[in-house]
Amino acid sequence: MTDIRVRRLNDTAEFLTRWTAHYQRAENPSFYQSPAWMSAWLESAGRAALYSVEASREGRILMMGVVGAGPRRPAVLGLKEVRLQETGEAALDEIYVEYNDFLTAPEADADMRRDAIDALAREFSGADAIVFRNVRAQLAAAVRAWAAGAWDCVTLGEQTVYVVDLGAVRSAGGDFLASLSGSFKTKLRRAITGYEQRGALSCHVASTEDERCAAWERLTALHQASWRARGRPGSFANQKLVAFHKNLQCHAGEAVHLFEVRCGAQTIGVLYNFIHEKRVLNYQSGFKFEDDNKLTPGFVCHALACQYYLDAGFEIYDLLAGEADYKKRLGAPSETLTSLSLERPSPRNKVRYLMKNLRR
């Protein structure tokens, strides 16, 4: 018989020890479930109300997860939500987990995700909603199956993940630029030529502590400058997000790459990448944009990164979820991540639906 328990997460060190052991034998775990990510996230969460979800049989852990169950926001009239691998605090949740799921062993039952959702609904009987953001297909199916009309299952959004199949490019000759479509390939070659007229293009992954600190500063400056020029604050204006990534870099070590591209002595872009087995995940970037729109630093940096990681033996360059033009032009659709909210049929939710309809 499977035992599923939901408990307040008080001893994070003890929890991480068990999480790490379970991660080593989990089925298809993501970087966002790695001990490094979880350690950094739990440290950054501070005093947030977090709970562990664990399914076991005969003392053997088969599935683990963490949910946040913060206070009602806004107080009195707002919603009380339970969120998988999120805290409910907006500044912290800008960390933005993808490939979200429970960490599951290969021998776990097919219905175990639904059983875990049922345990959450019973444990948090006063919550208005249980939110699953950016979840993989198997969990999305379990959420929808569990609802089965008893609760409202609201699809908050769907996002396609775009990836570059470096293994396929390698099999076709190993030239990333040659693998691109005609017009886009011409555009990229023209941009590369434009840069090379100024100075040689070079790529470098920061390796020493001094190099990593300097590359991080350049990433932050370039990213913030481009977003402020558009009247937006930029991701690195969020100090809680910055603190998380500093923690992550300490825990992840060489699994975090700051990939810098220079034209001569000038940095034209920095990519912030995660390394997970033979997969490279591009999480954030900063580019030096110029008035000459023939110089496309983003495309050039990503193209050079694809060639660099291809040559280094990696199989996938993952551009992560989103419909940005550069992702569609560089990569191909992979899986779809879905955000769902299970909403309890409560008077509070009925009032909320009524107010929504009145505003339409």
Q: What angle do CA 99, 224, 236 make, to 5 degrees?
A: 50
Who's near 231: CB < 8 A, 6+ residues apart?
Answer: none
Task: List the chain domain ranges.
Answer: 3-151+344-359, 162-335
Tell me the two tokens of residue 39: 């350690």
Question: Are 3-151+344-359 and 162-335 the same fold in CATH?
Answer: yes
Cα 272–Cα 181–Cα 177 angle in degrees, nearest 5? 50
The per-residue pLDDT for range 214-273, each reduced to its tens digit, is 999 999 999 999 889 888 888 999 999 999 999 999 999 999 999 999 999 999 999 999
Residue 34 has a CB neighbour count (10 Å cut-off) of 21
Q: Are 34 and 40 in contact (CB under 8 A)?
A: no
pLDDT at 246: 96
Mean pLDDT of 334-346: 93
- Does pLDDT of 359 surpass 60? no
Q: Using DSSP, state whether 51 is helix, strand or coil.
A: strand
Cis bond upstream, residue 74 (ω within 30): yes
Among 3.30.450.80, 1.10.287.1770, 3.40.190.10, 3.40.630.30, name the CATH number for the domain at 162-335.
3.40.630.30
Architecture of domain 3-151+344-359: 3-Layer(aba) Sandwich (3.40)
Higher pLDDT, 354 or 117: 117
Average model confidence (pLDDT) across the chain:
93
Mean pLDDT of 87-115: 95
Residue 257, CA distances (Å) to 58, 308, 309, 346 in order: 41, 12, 11, 46
- 159 forms beta bridges with 337
What integer is the mean pLDDT of 107-130? Answer: 94
Least trusted range by pLDDT, from 70-84, 259-273, 332-346 = 70-84
Residue 290 has pLDDT above 80, yes or no: yes
Confidence class of residue 348 from pLDDT cuts 50, 70 and 90?
A: low
Which residues are CB-contacts of 131 (< 8 A; sequence separation ≥ 6)? 81, 82, 83, 84, 86, 156, 339, 340, 341, 342
* pLDDT of the residue at 282: 98
pLDDT at position 354 is 53
pLDDT, tens digit, 9 for 90 and up, residues 184-195? 999 999 999 999
**pLDDT over 90 at 315, yes or no:** yes
75, pLDDT greater than 80: no
pLDDT at 308 over 80: yes
Give the span between the Cα atoms of 172 and 166, in whole angstroms: 10
pTM: 0.94
Give the sign of the dihedral formed by CA 248, CA 251, CA 252, CA 258.
positive
Residue 350 — very low, low, confident or very high, per pLDDT cuts 50/70/90? low
